[in-house]
Amino acid sequence: MDLNVPTAKMRMQIEQLLTLREAMISVSFETCEYECEEIWKSLLNQCLSKTMKRSCRKSEVEYTVETLMEGGKRYFVATVACAALASAYRGEAAASKKLAEHCAARAAMLSEYPACCDESFRALETGAEACPQPIVPLPLPLRDQDEVCRKRKADHDAKGRLNSSMQLMCGRALIKGDIVFDTQPDKASPLLFRSTVTLTCYQHLRFSGDALESKKLAEQSASAVALAHLEATIEPIEADHRAKKARLNSEKLAALKERNVMRKAEKRADMASGAITPRLAICAGTTWEA
């Protein structure tokens, strides 16, 4: 070690080292805080696989991430859509794209599969979250625009909603060929595309959309036309499905709470009989009362 170094130069290097240390500590803390949240996509895939009674393919679950700017800060908001879900779900704003996708998956899990959410994540007894959520709250101006964003996102995902609606109307999972898109260059404007969707699973109805810049947008347009035409038929079925799912979810949550109460009662009984010592009871999460 060479000590023949000017004090000013050493002080500058030490300050740089301290700055680097603080940055590393902040990154390490952030990673630890977020780690408990980065499981929701995996949990959602597992539940979807059980619903579909087969492995859920990655291409069947679509995550769309928006970038929002407010006050010079960048936020990310994700929406998850799948034919096996009742609707698309939009998560809260997050600090990264990856976290935004987990927030969207979490929103879908809490709505569609609440009983599958472990007690450590839902904290049923208190209604509080067991794990702190690293979610950045939406600034007020963005909250005011939330309804507009939701409607815009629903229009963008017309194809996904058409798939889920047809699944409800047919009373079964869709198979290849139930919904067929024929997308071709528009005759009047060859640089644009026009799509026609045929619902072979429902009276072989056919609907054509507007001429748009890409095949994907053209298919979304055709899906939106089909949804608008069938809205009067779809809405009562979807409302009944939502009510039925809400009722089932409520029953599952009530049963889960009852099981938790019974388990705690059993632990108290074991403690009273001496089968579990106070120290073991504390480790098991039950308060000892002498």
Average model confidence (pLDDT) for the chain?
Answer: 77
Domain 39-126 has CATH 3.30.160.20: yes
5 or 23, higher pLDDT: 5
What pLDDT score does 3 carry? 66
DSSP letters of the chain? ----S-HHHHHHHHHHHHHHHHHHHHHHHHHHHHHTTTTHHHHHHHHHHHHHTSPPPGGGSEEEEEEEEETTEEEEEEEEE-TTSSS-EE---BSSHHHHHHHHHHHHHHHH-GGGS-HHHH-TTTTS-SS---BPPPPHHHHHTHHHHHHHHHHHTHHHHHHHHHHHHHTS---TTSEEEEEEE-SS-TTSEEEEEEETTTTTEEEE---BSSHHHHHHHHHHHHHHHTHHHHHHHHHHHHHHHHHHHHHHHHHHHHHHHHHHHHHHHHHHHTSS-HHHHHHHT-----
List the domain boundaries for the chain: 39-126, 153-273
pLDDT confidence band for 208 (50 / 70 / 90): very high
What pLDDT score does 222 carry? 94
Q: What is the pLDDT of residues 94-112, one digit of tens each?
A: 888 999 999 999 888 888 8
Same topology, domains 39-126 and 153-273? Answer is yes
pLDDT of 123 higher than 80: no
User: Is the whole model's pTM more than 0.75, yes or no?
Assistant: no
**Average of per-residue pLDDT across 241-259:** 88
pLDDT of 127 higher than 70: no
CATH number for region 153-273: 3.30.160.20
284 or 179, higher pLDDT: 179
95 or 72, higher pLDDT: 95
